[in-house]
A = this chain, B = another copy of it.
Amino acid sequence: MKNKIITFGEIMLRLATPDHQRFTQTVAYEASFGGGEANVAVSLANYGLDTEFVTRLPDNDLGRAVVMELRRHNVGTNGIIYGGERLGIYFLEKGSVSRPGKVIYDRAHSAISEVQPGMIDWDRVFSEAGWFHWTGITPAISKGAADVCLEAVKAARERNIMVSCDMNFRKNLWKWGRKAEEVMPDMVEHCDIILGNEEDAEKVFNIQPDRGDVSAGDVDSSGYESVCTRLKDRFPQAKKIIITLRGSVNADHKYPSYELHLF
């Protein structure tokens, strides 16, 4: 039985100021790599599962460093393709108590944002795969990334591979012409498992909870259940709808995330 888990998306160079220093103070950055879909692959590999992360990286030492880091965590890298001009970067300044953290994204024009349908050999990528996971961040990056994401979802469905999606709506990313509500439905309707929260549901599918105000963060448990029911109505092929919640005390203290599984 084929059981490799494939995730697809962008991985970026993460440059964080040391301690609690500001961008305007620092003389050094701590360097690592981050991206939601790659993090999922690393976490599953830590549990001993067979995983592979697919992306497009620049053919330079920064791209090579990404591959080495993935390999270190036992994540497969054979489906990664090379080309384009740069690796996306995000700069991180940790917050402190009442001062919020700051992120400066510098990810435009990254190698993955310039990916095009046909570049990735999904036949080979999916040859041993049993599961495919993607998030709403990838189609937000660029038209090319959205097209390839749809290409991947369809290729997975054709091969009867389980497909899961974290909707993860990021308003600031959707700048390439079409909107999330125009692009996402075609992809989500191929998914077996849908993850997200009430804000994703509202912004991407215009789904409101029975009670409560999404933008005020004032939704109770029956509200969440109604969001799940409406997502299920809209996407009847889905076998599971999962709401993820996370809270924070202040910039230093976040709550762990909780999940509400339905169906």
Interface residues of A (CB under 8 A from B): 15, 22-24, 26-32, 60-62, 64-65, 68-69, 71-74, 85-87, 89, 91, 93, 98, 102, 104, 106, 108-109, 256
Q: Are A108 and B85 in contact (CB under 8 A)?
A: yes
How many angstroms from the CA of A87 to the CA of B15 in the assembled complex?
A: 14
Asked whether B71 lies within 8 Å of A23 as measured between CB atoms, the reply is: no
Is there an interface contact between B24 and A104, defined as CB atoms closer than 8 Å? no
A24 CA to B61 CA, complexed, in Å? 6
Of B27, B32, B86, the contact of A31 (CB 8 Å cutoff): B27
What chain B residues lie within 8 Å of A91 (beta carbons)? 62
The residues of B that contact A256 with a CB separation of less than 8 Å are: 98
Residues in B neighbouring A86, C-beta threshold 8 A: 106, 108
Q: Give Cα A22 to B15, complex, Å.
A: 17
**CA of A151 to CA of B160, assembled, Å:** 47
Prevailing SS type, chain A contact patch: mixed
15 contacts between A and B (CB under 8 A): A15-B15, A23-B62, A24-B64, A24-B65, A26-B31, A27-B27, A29-B29, A60-B104, A61-B104, A68-B72, A68-B73, A68-B74, A72-B72, A86-B106, A108-B109
- Pick from A71, A72, A85, A104 the residue with the most CB of B within 10 Å: A72
Residues of B within 8 A of A26 (CB): 31, 65
In the bound assembly, the distance between CA atoms of A87 and B91 in angstroms comes to 12
Knowing A71-B72, A72-B69, A108-B85, say if A32 contacts B24 (CB, 8 Å): no
A109 to B109 Cα, complex, angstroms: 8
Q: How far is the CA of A120 from the CA of B115 in the complex (A)?
A: 36
List of B residues within 8 angstroms of A23 by Cβ: 61-62, 64-65
Residues of B within 8 A of A109 (CB): 108-109
The answer to whether B31 and A104 touch across the interface, beta carbons within 8 angstroms, is no
Q: How far is the CB of A135 from chain B (nearest CB, A)?
A: 23
Q: Which residue of B lies closest to A102 (CB)?
A: B61
By a CB distance below 8 angstroms, the chain B residues around A72 are: 68-69, 71-72
Beyond A15-B15, A22-B61, A23-B65, 12 additional contacts (C-beta under 8 Å) are A27-B27, A27-B30, A27-B32, A60-B104, A61-B93, A61-B102, A68-B72, A68-B73, A85-B108, A89-B106, A98-B256, A109-B109
In the bound assembly, the distance between CA atoms of A102 and B60 in angstroms comes to: 11
Residues of B contacting A73 with CB < 8 Å? Answer: 68
Provide the bound-state CA to CA distance between A153 and B86, in Å: 33
Q: Is the CB of B104 within 8 A of A62?
A: yes
